Amino acid sequence: MNRAKRTEIFERLRAANPAPTTELAYASTFELLVAVILSAQATDKGVNKATARLFPVANTPQAILDLGEAGLKAHIKTIGLFNSKAKNILAACRILVDEHGGEVPRERKALEALPGVGRKTANVVLNTAFGEPAMAVDTHIFRVANRTRIAQGKTPLAVEQRLLRLVPKEFLQDAHHWLILHGRYVCTARKPRCHECIIADLCEYKQKTPAPDGAGQTASAGAAVHGADVVAGGHEKPAADATS
């Protein structure tokens, strides 16, 4: 895929959703960090239900430390892997209090030193909280980048590095969200909605899914649907960072 195609792809995605953002509910960088840790192998909706109970009670590192392990688990027990996530969050909070004055660090190395925080989680925080052009490659971005040939690679890191190199600079800040949303709502794993895709004519995927019988929609007509989905949609969970 050439630069002209990539530019047109992101221009269309931007036109459909000029200000993409995460679906996770948060009001501070620390709340975002906790939400992203909790979102590993969990849905954003499930995380939001748990943090709606947790954050009014404890939304700073010290406040969560004061809750203790049993208190924290009581608020997040509806989330998968809540036992290990509680331990990681408490350990991360201790480091934040002892080494960073209770603030979330902006440096990648310091973020990745926190328990429960791997590269993808660090990238989400760097991008969403600090405005860095980071690329958190989850399963959606990995699939979309390879399928469309925007940036092919055999590993998430390889795709991340190619995206950072190949995506035109003006789109880098939001590219992470656009690609996740596109993979989540349109370029799905088993049956991509190619007949509704606003970049179908630019995508280099050869086995495009035909429109269902009677659908009566074209790629251009589907642009409105895609735009509505994007506005309603959100950020997909980073994959398995809690174990890294």
Q: Which of 44, 138, 229, 241 is catalytic?
A: 138
Residue 116 gets the label, from left (phi > 0), alpha (psi -120 to 50) or beta, of left
Catalytic site includes residue 73: no
Global confidence as pTM:
0.80
CA–CA distance, 199 with 232 (Å, rounded to integer): 19
The domain made up of 3-18+134-243 has a fold known as Endonuclease Iii, domain 2 (1.10.1670)
Q: Which of 49, 73, 87, 120 is catalytic?
A: 120
Map out the domains of the chain as residue ranges. 3-18+134-243, 29-128
CA–CA distance, 171 with 150 (Å, rounded to integer): 13
Q: Indicate the length of the chain as a whole number.
A: 244
CA–CA distance, 118 with 115 (Å, rounded to integer): 8
The CATH superfamily of 29-128 is: Hypothetical protein; domain 2 (1.10.340.30)
Question: Between these two residues, 108 and 42, which has the higher pLDDT value?
Answer: 108
Residues 33-85: tens digit of each pLDDT: 999 999 988 888 999 999 999 999 999 999 999 999 999 999 999 999 999 99
Catalytic site includes residue 120: yes
